[in-house]
Amino acid sequence: MVRWILEPGLFSNGTVRTALLLGALVSVVSGVVGIFTVLRGQSFAGHALTDVATAGGSGAALASLSPLLGFVGGGVIGAGAMDAIGVQRVKDRDVATGVVLGAATGLSALFLYLITLQTSTTGSTQSILFGSIFTVGPSTLPDVALLSVVVLVGVMVIRRPLLMGSISPELAAARGVRLRMVGIAFMVMLAAAVGLSAIAIGSILSTALLIGPPASALKVVSRLSHAVVLASVLGVMATWLGIVFAYDSYYWFGSGRGLPVSFFVVADVLVEFVAVNLVARRRRLRVVEEPATTAMPEQVGWI
């Protein structure tokens, strides 16, 4: 049975080991940053920055710069552009994000086209756009780990004003929180986190892990620390299961041709989301029967 689930050679394979490590690292960062992204209603920006980072990555590939620099730098520049256009009011935010995203995808189209002219290799477009966790070499691991730590520490530092500003901007402003500063700082961290995950696991998974596990966690848990931990655990679980399934799938069709990791990880993320929704609904039914046992999220220590 174990042999059937875990194909022989899974853990002795270097590529798989790197993928498992990278995947876990990126899932934790996405889980932590994602909680605030979901709370602040910035899923669109979170996704758009992935595509902006991809434009940066393809530009870097064209200029033969370091891809990590391209992805993270592109994301940060995109975040700056969104802020410059205006992200204060919610509806302006939508347009600002959209305009930057549109321009960045236009640039990606140009860069990727020039890359295919330059190298005449096939598959580069798809690998840059969709990414694959199996293509990252172990040499990127230290850089990714370092940046992950920087982002996590940054979020830790601003977590209180950030949370307050996300849940109740008026209250936060009254207590002297500089909302704009906090907002910009968060956008930069979001851009870095997303650029990091786009290069490590591809842009599809970047959005999936940023939004899926945190949205699931926020359905069932009401304390910030619990939500962060649960989102990270759900993210790591989905990633690891996805990697195992993808590795196995090379043997399913007998053709030596597997399904992509992103497909399995996204499927796992969605299954988790559905399962958590079912749990939340059952709990809500029970709560109706015995209302005394529940407290409002604010009372349990959100802030």
Interface residues toward other proteins, by CB under 8 A: 38, 41-44, 46-48, 51, 90-91, 94-95, 97-110, 112-113, 116, 122-123, 125-126, 129-130, 204-205, 207-208, 210-212, 215, 219, 257-260, 262-263, 265-267, 269-270, 273, 277
Least distance between other proteins and beta carbon 127 (Å)? 11
235 burial type by CB count under 10 A (0-12 exposed, 13-18 middle, 19+ buried): buried
Nearer to other proteins, 8 or 123 (CB): 123
The span from the CA of 155 to the CA of 31, in Å, is 12
129 or 167, CB closer to other proteins?
129
If the CB atoms of residues 25 and 128 are measured against other proteins, the closer one turns out to be 128
Tokens found for residue 45: 């920006």
Residue 213: alpha-carbon gap to chain centroid: 9
Looking up tokens 């399995």, which residue turns up? 264
Closer residue to other proteins (CB): 22 or 208: 208
Closer to other proteins by Cβ: residue 143 or 250? 250
Least distance in angstroms from the C-beta of 290 to other proteins: 24
Token pair for 223:
């304390």
Kindly state the smallest distance separating residue 106's Cβ from other proteins, in Å: 2
Distance CA 199, CA 179 (A): 30
Q: Which amino acid is at 123?
A: G
Nearest distance from residue 57's CB to other proteins, in Å?
15
Burial of 130: CB neighbours in 10 Å, binned 0-12, 13-18, 19+: middle
User: In angstroms, what is the minimal distance from the CB of 107 to other proteins?
Assistant: 7
Compute and round to an integer the Cα radius of gyration of the chain. Answer: 20
Least gap, CB of 153 to other proteins (angstroms): 26
Nearest residue to 26 via CA among 129, 139, 130, 140: 140
Q: How far is the CB of 41 from other proteins (least distance, A)?
A: 6
For 225, residues 6+ apart whose C-beta sits below 8 A from its C-beta are none
CB nearer other proteins, residue 69 or residue 99:
99
φ and ψ at residue 8, rounded to 5 degrees? -55, 140
Q: Which is nearer to other proteins, 177 or 272 (CB)?
A: 272
